Amino acid sequence: MNVVTRFAPSPTGFLHIGGARTALFNWLFARHHGGTYLLRIEDTDRARSTAEAIEAIHDGLSWLGLEGDAPAVSQSAQAPRHAEVAMQLVEAGAAYRCYLSDRA
């Protein structure tokens, strides 16, 4: 079994000690098990995500020596794939559309 860990900070602010600790634990776990450590930027909150925070996260992780084993992935860039898979699940009868509003 191949171990893959990931750190997925939300770029709505700067990297803080709690995030750095989580990244370190994930990095250590991957290294201990001969696995892979990945960085995924959880930028789905488009209104509050900033380029400055993304850059600061990369800079902080680099300074700590906790860079990912592959290029970082932006969660928002994966939205088309997520929609495609969701539609496949609906078509297969394995999921259904929810028509409730956010206020329900």
For the segment 29-39, the average pLDDT, to the nearest whole number, is: 98
pLDDT tens digits, residue range 60-81? 999 999 999 999 999 999 999 9
Is residue 11 pLDDT above 70, yes or no?
yes
pLDDT reading at 15 higher than 80: yes
Phi, psi dihedrals of residue 99, rounded to the nearest 5° = -105, 10
Tell me the whole-structure pTM to 2 decimals: 0.80
Reduced 3-state DSSP string for the chain: CCCEEEECCCCCCCCCHHHHHHHHHHHHHHHHCCCEEEEEECCCCCCCCCHHHHHHHHHHHHHHCCCCCCCCEEHHHHHHHHHHHHHHHHHCCCCCCCCCCCCC
User: pLDDT tier at 104 (50, 70, 90 boundaries)?
Assistant: low
| Structural domains for the chain | 4-78 (3.40.50.620)
Residue 7's identity, in one-letter code, is F
